[in-house]
A and B are shown apart, each in its own frame.
Chain A
Amino acid sequence: MMGTDWRAAFRVGGVALLLFTPLTGLVLAGYQLEWHWQRPLWLAGGFGLGYGLLRLVWRRWLSGAHAFGQRAAAGSTTDPARHRPLWIGLALGVALLLPFFLDKYGINVATLALIYILLGLGLNIVVGLAGLLDLGFVAFYAVGAYTYAFGYHYFGLSFWLALPLGGLLAACFGMMLGFPVLRLHGDYLAIVTLGFGEIIRLILNNWVSLTGGPNGVSVVFPTFFGLEFNRRAKQGGVPLHEFLGIDYSANQRAVFLYLLLLAVVLVMVYVVVRLKRMPIGRAWEALRENEIACRSLGINHVTVKLSAFGLGALVGGMGGVFFAASQGFVNPTSFTFFESAHILAIVVLGGMGSTTGVVVAALLLTVVPEMLRDFADYRVLFVGVAMVLMMIWRPRGLRQRRRPVFQVEPSPQPAFVNPVKKRLRGPGGGHPPQWGFGGKAPNNPPNNRSDP
């Protein structure tokens, strides 16, 4: 085991040496080539060692989900859910206490991470569960953000009203997008959704009289039951710190927004986890697997698709409202295609359909680039490398979606509801049919014509 790891590491080191010798060993100084032989050696050594260590780590701790399909088959024998409450409690505790130990910048990063979790959860419904590749998800994010901005700007709408309204409006847009693309799949669907995202952004950018164009719209910060988070009341209320009789701190509003967002994220995580075990969630996944079979089973694919688009957009729209609130300002540059790609990367990296995976990936892809601010130019590179590595090692994402396990065997008395006619005897009686070599592969392969 170990031996193969280190041999592989050695090979990687060798390849790195070959690559880096001309790339970094030879340096052009003026008109002279300088020979730096240490550099490629260091790099190659680092790559080899790093690769070996990663392999070891992967083998030790992460390889559980590698053999796809076996986990679902194994069911309860090695149930990974055993330590779940512990992990969830720990994560919750950290998330709750976090803002009190961070500076304003840190809280903002954490807020952004939570927003991306929300977006990831929304897109996960559309892409991960329903299998509808949506490259324009940012459109719903924008709809949510601008709902709040316009609502405040034109109608004096408060954050608390804008939150559900932004979600609902985004859901309407989601269904609007859903209708024309009902018959599309895969690549075609991706292109249309990409266009949809761009259309929304271009409208926001170019309809200057309504949207303020690239100058954007400013947004007011949410209040807490009418209490403001400013040093002095601007919206004509009482500032929170005066009401509570505590000192003013610029952090208060950021902490407030963070905690509020955390609550919304927790609710959404619960909703998504429940949805996956509900008929609607199963219908989404069934639709992803085989649309024709779905329709043959009495499932209306139109409503199922529209509900996936709508609910996904709803979550994305709420993320947009929070984004607008946290920035205090929105303009179209926040809603470019890159943003869509980023959210999609979160879903793919996390593992299609896995809620935990999305949460982890959103944190990774938001927090790590912020920590590496000095290397900001390489941010996209970082995402790219993460994706490539993942495709090699964990092609199904960080977390594989766990299937619910059903208890079937103990059926004490034949509590059988006859599926066809109530009067007749159930299949519990009589002889069970004997199947021959059930497990054997077919001798003559089936007719593979695609029909209907």
Chain B
Amino acid sequence: MTPLLTVHDLTMRFGGVTALQAVAFTVQQASITALIGPNGAGKTTVFNCVTGFYKATTGTICLHDPQTGTGDIDLLEMLGESFRLSDFWRPRTLSRRLFFKLFGGPHRVNRAGVARTFQNIRLFDELTVMENLLVAQQAQVHGGLLAGLLQTAHFRRKEQEAVVRATEWLRFFDLLGEANRLAGTLPYGYQRRLEMARALCTRPRLLCLDEPAAGLNPNETQALSQLILALRDRFGLTVLLIEHDMGLVMDISDHLVVLDHGEVIAQGKPAAIQQDARVLAAYLGTGEP
């Protein structure tokens, strides 16, 4: 087992509110890890920290690169950390910091290989399904302004590749028939799948799904669990998942992390978590608070 993501000592404060307190967990390569906990436990906040939408107050978030072995990617650094006095006699650190201050942000985290979906779906409603997927491949298509205006062969080939990749993901999520519909007009269940397809089009190594089964009926939830398993088994993707549907979570996840009031109260295999006294207390409200 090799870890893909290591979160260590993650603390997030909003003014006086401590949303996360020293959260630590690892996500193994090609596994499904579920993040569970009662409402307001801080699950979405963990996601926002990992994907770069929030700047963690303290802690480290590291994406490992087992394939190339080039070492770890510090996801926090990409958001543009504030300068420290010691930087001024280390020009390399200083220039890196300056670079990320200017050009850093969540998009860098995505390009490093972390994609996500949102708890409340965020599609580009007035764009077609296909365009939604093409936007996601933006960072890879490139091509420059002039190449696009002149429609060079290179540009057209890149576009075609993007369409092919999008088509394959549409087929995977059974959305091929909807390719030219406006995303906003899709039924709810389709929108959830489209958002996953769009995240996958950015070619991530870690896929973060925030309550993908929310609002789905039992059949759809069943199909969703098959899809998530297929992502792991067929593509070797690593999935980090927030979910309230315990049936789904216990079925498919390899590892569980339980959050309550911003702290990790338990982690381990699903079977072990089901027996854990603190988890039961957090969910059922029994025992000492």
Contact = CB atoms under 8 A, between A and B. Distances in A.
B139 A299 contact: yes
A295 B107 contact: yes
Contact of B170 (A280, A288, A408): A408
Contacts of B127: 282, 285-286, 289, 403
A406 B130 contact: yes
Interface residues of B, number: 89
Contacts of B149: 271, 274-275, 278
A101 interface: no
Nearest to A432: B174
A347 B46 CA distance: 42
A433 B105 contact: no
A433 B134 CA distance: 23
Given A290-B122, A297-B198, A404-B131, A439 B235 contact: no
Interface stretch (B183-191, B247-255, B262-270, B271-279): B183-191
B54 to A, nearest CB: 6
B168 A428 contact: yes
Contacts of B163: 406, 408
Interface string B75-106: 00000000000000000000000000001011
Interface string B117-134: 011111111111011101
Contact of A427 (B108, B126, B171): B171
A444 B213 CA distance: 11
B219 A436 contact: yes
Nearest to B218: A436
Contact of A430 (B121, B169, B230): B230
A60 B195 CA distance: 39
Interface in A398-430: 403-406, 408-409, 411, 415-421, 424-428, 430
Contacts of B126: 285, 288-289
B203 A447 contact: no
B102 to A, nearest CB: 9
Interface residues of A, number: 69
B120 A427 contact: no
Contacts of B54: 452
Nearest to A434: B223
A274 B151 contact: yes
Given A283-B138, A299-B107, A450-B120, A417 B235 contact: no
A408 B143 CA distance: 22
A427 B180 contact: no
B66 interface: no
Interface string B141-160: 11101001101000000000
A93 interface: no
Nearest to B176: A408
A400 B180 CA distance: 16
Nearest to A441: B188
B215 A446 contact: yes
A245 interface: no
Interface string B206-224: 0000010011111110110
A438 B190 contact: yes
A375 interface: no
B106 A295 contact: yes
A67 B97 CA distance: 51
Contact of B135 (A283, A436, A452): A283
Interface string A30-49: 00000000000000000000
Nearest to B135: A286
Contacts of A452: 44, 47-48, 53-54
B72 interface: no
Contacts of B176: 408-409
A419 B165 contact: yes
Contact of A433 (B167, B201, B226): B226
Contacts, number: 247
B223 A435 contact: yes
Given A297-B110, A425-B234, A441-B188, A292 B131 contact: no
Nearest to A73: B181
B164 interface: yes
A75 B148 contact: no
A289 B185 contact: no
A420 B236 contact: yes
B215 to A, nearest CB: 3
B207 to A, nearest CB: 10
A300 interface: yes
B104 to A, nearest CB: 9
Contacts of A298: 107-108, 110-111, 136, 138-139, 202
B31 to A, nearest CB: 15
B280 interface: no
Nearest to A271: B149
B120 A446 contact: yes
A77 B118 CA distance: 35
A440 B180 contact: no
A437 to B, nearest CB: 6
A417 B174 contact: no
Nearest to B49: A452
A430 B234 contact: yes
A205 B189 CA distance: 58
Nearest to A296: B116
A449 B173 CA distance: 26
B124 A289 contact: yes
Given A408-B163, A436-B222, 12 more contacts: A286-B132, A290-B122, A294-B135, A297-B139, A297-B202, A411-B167, A417-B161, A419-B169, A420-B205, A435-B219, A444-B215, A451-B48
Interface of B: 44, 47-48, 51, 53-54, 103, 105-108, 110-111, 115-116, 118-128, 130-132, 134-136, 138-139, 141-143, 145, 148-149, 151, 161, 163-165, 167-174, 176, 179-182, 184-185, 187-190, 193, 198-203, 205, 211, 214-220, 222-223, 226-227, 230, 234-237
11 contacts: A283-B138, A290-B123, A292-B53, A298-B108, A406-B130, A408-B163, A415-B164, A421-B236, A433-B173, A435-B219, A443-B217
In the A-B complex, list the 6 residue pairs whose CB atoms are closest, starting with the nearest: A436-B219, A442-B215, A278-B148, A289-B124, A427-B172, A298-B110
Interface of A: 69, 72-73, 75, 271, 274-275, 278-280, 282-283, 285-286, 288-290, 292-302, 403-406, 408-409, 411, 415-421, 424-428, 430, 432-452
